[in-house]
Structure 1
Amino acid sequence: MPAIPANWELVPGTTIPASVKLSPNAAPIVILIHHQYQDVSSTDSNAIKIITRTINFTYPDGSKQTVTQTAKFTRTAIKDLVDNTVEYGTWQGNDIFAVVDVPQFDGYYSSPDVIHSMEPTPSTIDQVVDVTYSAKPITTRIIQYVDENDQLIRADTISGQVDSHVAYQLKLPEHWTFVDSAIQDGATISIDMNAKGAIVYRIKHQTTTGQITKDFKRTVILHKPSGDETIEQIAQMTADQTHDEVTGQDVYTNWQVTKRFDAVDAAKLTYAGYRSSVNEIAAADPDENMASETTIDVTYTANPGVQTIEYVDSAGNVIAKLLITGLVDQNVKLDTNQGGNAALPDNWKLVAGVVVPASLKIPVTDTIIKYQIEHQTKDVSETNPDAQKTVTRIINIFDPHQGEYTLPKETITLKRTAIKNLVTNQITYGAWQNPDNLAFTEYTVPQITGYTASRDQIAAYQPVGEDTVLTYNITYSANEQSVVVIYQDDQHNVIGQAAVSGQTDQSLAIDFTAALPDGWMLADGQADQQQITFTGSAMAPIIVKIVHGQVTVDPDDPKTPQDRLPHTKNDFYPNGVDYNKLNRTIARNITVIYPDAILSRLNKPCSLSAVQPLIRSPRPFRMANGKLLVRAALINLHLMTWLTTCQVLKWSKHPRQLQKTWMATLRLPTTTAIRRRPSYTWMPIPVSRLVMLRLSMVKRELRLILRWTCQMAGGLMKIRPYQVR
């Protein structure tokens, strides 16, 4: 089954089927996957922001100090492992810059005086605040005299050194006195020049007091249709008088009413058939702020009248109600046009036979007059966009080779009637019509080799009112394809074969080792895989060259029947390749007869390594780079035999002539028969483990000189030469 792409994962609830059934018309299997995400908030530098406020102090003595405040903000960072984009959350953090007090020094000003606390935000830039000090100069103080409204009346300027006191004598303006009676004009005070701000004294006007009486006159004039009538009334008040010595003005307080205005009889205010401008004149107290004489004019006008007109529909519902106003018995003209006093409601009209008069007389008592009306309508079939519709046919071709393309769109227009009610704005539509009886023509779907189209043709069709967009998607599904892989030996015999399946235009790499016959391996030079692409046509078989599977069992790495045999699926090594079968210890007794007839026996064991006998091997030994090599057989899967240590014979006709090397073997009994001719390779054998025989001809006598070097516990031991006749 296909593997999930890197950094993708299955959508929750989605599973991969354990197996599928292949069939020519099988639908594609869709497995939903989505991107994997990783939280990189702790490693992404863009997820952390540090805001810094640095405060640099430069003190009057020249020393410096720096105070650093920081605020940290963090946010989440989620990385998309497919496109490596990172999505960040909102900044989080509640650090604040605390308030910093600025030290103060006598005789110096600090700038600024205090550094306030601040709550930074992620958008706040780093800040630097420099605190400096400057010496205090000779300063001045201001003496201010202000009135009770904080208006400045007089100001004196006093100059003096910082950290000193200056004497000052208080001086009031003329006709003024201190608000605080404890302060005396001409008193001397000491002014601290280190203090800040003005010295303020509150002062007020000097005044004298008394009492007065005031008369008020009210005249009521009734302007009746029969003539004017006048009514006169008098009222009095007393007050305390205060004279301001500064401004010369008098101020009156504590007003008291000693006589008030009487009420006017209501009967004197009425007049039949008219309404007065004042309905009541009640008794009233005079006001100290009113004029000494006041007049009340009472006028009279004729009462207005009204005539109600209602426009109703056929059910008697009131659609509009109009009030025609005027004076009683007055003739008022009626205008039923838009904007007129008797205008019909918008988009309504009078029912046939109903007429509104040109004028009417305003009655004393209102009586409703009703006129019946109905809706106006309009034919909007030619202008209403919903009175016609366009039916579109869209054919999308999803070509596996050319990609997606769309055929030119085809359209047919349908029409219907549309009648608009001008009151409700509702439109009544008729049935859809195809005035020209148009239809979409039949379309034959193109065929693609190796693919099956979702449909063969699109039938001709005449659209109806329910149709809007007719979309046809022509898709192609790849047909199932296969190719045969044939495994042949060096004699072109077919050992096995396997079928590889796929779909048209699918590319895949065929692994030749996946279907190797049991006990076989790829021949030298044979690639282990081949990239192919399925076409819509039949594909020629793929020939794969194979040979018998072989493995070399080294004496130092023996095997048992429990070890699995390479190049097979379920086979194991046979008996005969364990340690005891591949390694032997052989003893040889050597009897040496010395000239002094002393018999010595040498019985030394010699270890032999069993690999494969060199029977039928024409040259079992050779010299290469100063090393003696023995030709050992590679063990066939069906062959387990022995290799014995060899002896080297050297033949020389004359000691000074070039010696010709012959090879011979010392055969030992084998445990298994040779079933197949072995193949050979060269392997090194230490010289110290070989028996070397040298033959030489002296006249007719054959002298055998034996030299045998045998490895012993303490080193090498040499045997004296002897003669054999």
Structure 2
Amino acid sequence: MVNITYTANDQATHIVYTDQDGHQVKTDMITGKTAQTVDVHSDVPTGWKIVDGQVPATVHFTGDQTPDMTITVDHRHHIIDGQGELPTGLAPSAFTKTVTRTINVRQPDGTVKTTKQTATFNRIADVDEVTQQVTFSDWQLTSNGWVAFTTPAIDHYTPSQAMVEAVDDAASLTRDVTVDIAYTANRGTVEIKYVDKDGNEIGYQMITSHVGDTVKVTPQFPTNWVPMDPATVPTAVRIKEENGQIIIVVIRHAVNDPAQTKTVTRTIRVTTPDGQTTTTSQVAKISRYGDLDLVTGQIAWNPWTTARWDAFKPATIVGYTPSQAELPVVTVDGETADQTVAITYAAVAMPTPTQPANDVPAADHAVDQGAADNGDYQPAGQGTATNAAHQAATATTHHLTATTSAPVAVAAKQTPAAQSAAPAATNRQRLPQTGNGHDASTLAGLASLLGLFGLAGKRRKRD
């Protein structure tokens, strides 16, 4: 006997997951045997979701070929708002932001007033669980905002921006913004009126700048006018308002300072006994200043200054007297005129010697006395001639002394031999200077005098 038995054939089928484009995402095989019903253990691919169809719980194999089952799937997405667990690389700050608009208003005094406007936004994100791609939604304003801002008004000033517009478009609020507003002073004027002492307007000057500015002033006086009081002339003005400021400056006729100078001279001519003249000029310089009225052209002169001529003393010459022993100090002013003073010398008169009353003859006594005293000799009976010769010799001696610029010395007592030798020596010294008539006459006088001395000597020997 033959026993024939049947064994169920192995059966298989597939659960195929495809995306919407038909691309296979995953395939699970389901196996069993003919006539067997098996449980299906197939999960949707991670990150995917079923779009069309569904995964059966069981599959029954009939023995025929069990066809594959296709299930259409799509990416699974989930929404996140920044809370809880976040995908790798995301932080809570990616889901919220605060955008600030800073408005700085610079005041005319330099201080700054700052206003801050904030706008807070939130957004959500879509996470593709297959690709892990995060897609953010648009920002949504959740608090505050950039509202309109009106710049405060300040008298006499104009702001660079009168208003800052409101912004509520989230797409425009992508970054912080700073708005700077400054004020520009309105232009104003200051008028400087130049008036005379009676209040009559002679001229004016207009200064224009921005209100609040301090402007340096360069005075513009009318031609040939100057301020009555320089302290009243502003060196700078502050523009306080647009118009209406007036400054009064009293002015007067300008004057120039003309000057005159002159020299006043005292000329001193000193003529010495030798006929030479020395001139000394004493020069005093004086001046005076005036006020020239540049409007009328008239000059008011001030007094002359003063100077002085110093005292002057002529040189002393023995045996002579100057015609003026000293010229005094003189204060020179505008009334003093040039002067010329001539000073000459006059010989001092020599006294006539007297004979002593004794037995010595007059002639001999004269010789002895002369030898003992100064060598002067006056023979008896020749008093007049001898005295004249003596005076001529004295004058000649003084003349020669003045010529050589050496004072005349008083003759020392000499021996008769020395007395005889002295005239000869003196004569030899004088001979080279006999180049003119004056020196010739002088030598003739000396010769006469020496002759007298010779006679006296011979007479004494005879006695």
Query: Shorter-chain TM-score: which interval?
Result: 0.3 to 0.5
**TM-score, scaled to structure 1:** 0.30
| Bigger fraction of residues in strand | 1
**TM-score, scaled to structure 2:** 0.43
Considering only CA atoms, is the larger Rg found in Structure 1 or Structure 2? 2
| Bigger fraction of residues in helix | 2
Higher relative contact order (CA 8 A, sep 6+): 2
